[in-house]
Amino acid sequence: MTDVLVAEDLRRTYGDTAALSGVSLSVGDGEVFALVGPNGAGKTTLIRALTGTTEPDSGSVRVFDSRPTAVDRQRIGLLPQSFDPPERLTARELVTYYAGLYDEARDPEAILAEVGIAESAATRYENLSGGQQRRTCVGTALVNDPDLLFLDEPTTGVDPAGRRALWRLIERLADEGTTVVLTTHYMAEAERLADRVGLLADGKLAAVGSPTALVAEHGGRTRLVVETSDGSAEADDERAEASDEAEMNDDAETTDAPDSVASASAAADAAADALTTTDFEVETTERGLVVHGVAPEDIGRVVGTLDDRGVEYGALTWTEPDLEDVFLQLTGRSADGSGEAATIGSGADAEPSNAVAEGEL
Ligand code: ADP
């Protein structure tokens, strides 16, 4: 694959802050490359350096084998993170205006439809919702039908339906051969869209690779979390009351609740022992058990052991390692603070959300 973008050892400081501390990367023709990292990681500075909107202190960037500022602007599309178009123009006027800046531009109506704004095209930008505004901005980056598209946080502030629509649009553009470099702090977005992901933390790339390879290498094992405590404040109160009573009462045998708490925990311990004698590593936590390395086809066996030992659980949650785990593993921090779990058990509020896990049960 030909590289359309090559950056070497980019460094950029602002005062005492090192925004980029030696970033090297390359992006192949037709690839979707996602830069992932928390706020302040250096994503925007990197995009700006790659597009020539800021000069790095040192290092080099080649885009289509030229300096970024020397590339035919017809070939590049850029959605900056901060983009405040004239608010009194309608979505249609904005897209048409930006289309007018290029010798060869696409039909604004087609773009408005693609970004899902056709029905609100006559609405002034200032009266669009935050998500509609962002989608209109994405539209302005597409008017020149770019070969290389930079999208800095394209879906931040966009509601879930709008986000999915933008994901489909980016996938379609990629299918048609557009090279896309995007930034996001949504791991699910990177996992879904990117051929390769660059994990950026403190101005450095902690790792680069396909989501699958990164997860396989750094993500750790699957986990089955068995909540034997329901975790609710009410339940905690009940347990606290029960144990207070037990402490005050010389004859604990006569009180029901402490007995059941004790037996539940004994059952969990027994289940932990039973599972450990098989091939699972079991961790006992305040809320229950965490069974590591449970493959989907093993879930039934674990549940059978829990039932055999009389363990009563509020919820079973099975999680596969994902990019969030990779980021955590490599940087010791969370990239977006929103790890998603697949709940497959009987918790009252549990919404099954993982088709594989449900199917396997
Ligand atoms: P991200 O896009 O990942 O949130 P940025 O590239 O915006 O990260 O910022 C990286 C670091 O550089 C942050 O600490 C930020 O405060 C700092 N920074 C970025 N741009 C400027 C600027 N124009 N002036 C001063 N500091 C900046």
- For 301-315, the pLDDT digits (tens) are 888 888 888 888 888
Q: Does 80 share its domain with 123?
A: yes
How high does pLDDT run on average in the chain?
Answer: 84
Contacts of 287 (CB under 8 A, 6+ apart): 225, 227, 228, 229, 231
Give the least confident one: 222-236, 238-252, 263-277: 238-252
Number of separate domains in the chain: 2
Select the highest-mean-pLDDT range: 50-64, 157-171, 239-253. Answer: 50-64
Average pLDDT over residues 209-235: 81
Q: 178 or 255: whose pLDDT is higher?
A: 178
The verdict on residue 337 lying in a domain is no
- Of 190-194, 228-232, 249-253, where does mean pLDDT reach its minimum? 249-253
Mean pLDDT, rounded, for 22-28: 97
- Is residue 341 a part of any domain in this protein? no
Would 241 be classed as within a structural domain? yes
Q: What local confidence, expressed as pLDDT, does residue 1 receive?
A: 78
- Asked if residue 327 belongs to a domain, the reply is no
Question: pLDDT-derived band of residue 264, with 50, 70 and 90 as boundaries?
Answer: low
Lining residues, ligand 1, CB within 6 Å: 14, 17, 19, 37, 39-45
Whose CA is closest to atom 26 on ligand 1? 14
CA 286/CA 266 separation, integer angstroms: 13
Do 70 and 13 contact (CB within 8 A), yes or no? no
- Which band of pLDDT confidence, cut at 50, 70 and 90, is reported for residue 342? very low
Mean pLDDT of 119-144: 95
DSSP letters, 281-321, are: EEEEETTEEEEES--GGGHHHHHHHHHHTT---SEEEEE--
Do 55 and 186 belong to one domain?
yes
What does the pLDDT average to over 28-40?
95
Same domain, 229 and 198: no
State which of 11, 35, 44 you would mutate to test the pocket of ligand 1, scoring each by most atoms of that ligand within 8 A of its C-beta.
Answer: 44
Structure tokens at 153: 């946080």
Spatial separation of the C-alpha atoms in residues 329 and 187, rounded to whole Å: 14
Asked whether residue 348 is assigned to any structural domain, the reply reads no
How much distance in Å is there from the Cα of 109 to the middle of ligand 1?
35
Q: Whose CA is nearest to atom 27 of ligand 1?
A: 14
Kindly state the DSSP code that residue 103 receives in the 8-state scheme. Answer: S
Of 190, 86, 102, 189, the closest CA to residue 137 belongs to 86
Q: Is the same domain home to 87 and 169? A: yes
pLDDT tops 50 at residue 135: yes
- pLDDT band at 262; cut points 50, 70, 90: low
- Residue nearest to ligand 1 atom 15, measured at CA: 40
Which of 171, 195, 216 corresponds to the end of one domain?
216
CA atoms within a 13 Å half-sphere pointing along the CA-CB vector of 359: 4
223, 344 contact by CB (below 8 A) = no
Range name among 6-10, 117-121, 252-256 with the lowest pLDDT average: 252-256
* Average pLDDT value for residue range 60-88: 95
The DSSP letter of residue 66 is: B
CATH number at residue 199: 3.40.50.300
What pLDDT shows up at residue 111?
96
**Residue of 43, 45, 331 to test ligand 1 pocket, by largest number of atoms within 8 Å of CB:** 45
41 and 183 housed in the same domain? yes
Q: Kindly give the distance from the C-alpha atom of residue 328 to the centroid of ligand 1, in angstroms, as a whole number.
A: 21
Which atom from ligand 1 is nearest to the alpha carbon of 81?
A: 2
Element holding 28 (H helix, E strand): strand 17-28
| 42 alpha carbon – ligand 1 mean position (Å) | 6
d(CA 14, CA 2): 33
**Who has greater pLDDT, 290 or 249?**
290
Give the pLDDT of residue 260: 55
Measured from the CA of 41, which atom of ligand 1 is nearest? Answer: 3
Residue 8 CA to ligand 1 centre (angstroms): 20
Residue 169 has pLDDT above 70, yes or no: yes
In a shared domain, residues 93 and 200: yes
Domain boundary among 198, 216, 234: 216
Residue 261 has pLDDT above 60, yes or no: no
Reference 258, options 271, 267, 269, 249; nearest CA is 249
pLDDT over threshold 70, residue 35: yes
Residues 6 or more apart in contact with residue 92 via CB below 8 angstroms: 108, 109, 112, 121, 122
Q: Is residue 331 part of a domain?
A: no
Compare 130 and 1 and report the one with higher pLDDT: 130
Q: In terms of domains, do 9 and 112 share one? A: yes
Residue, of 357 and 279, whose pLDDT is higher: 279
Residue 53's domain spans which residues? Answer: 3-216
Residues 42 and 162 in one domain: yes
Q: Based on the domain organization, do 30 and 122 belong to the same domain?
A: yes
Task: From the CA of 37, give the closest atom in ligand 1.
Answer: 3
Task: Read off the pLDDT band of 5 (50, 70, 90).
Answer: very high
Residue with the smallest CA separation from ligand 1 atom 12 is 19
pLDDT band at 108; cut points 50, 70, 90: very high
**50 and 187 housed in the same domain:** yes
Query: Is 354 part of any domain?
Result: no
Q: pLDDT value at position 312?
A: 84
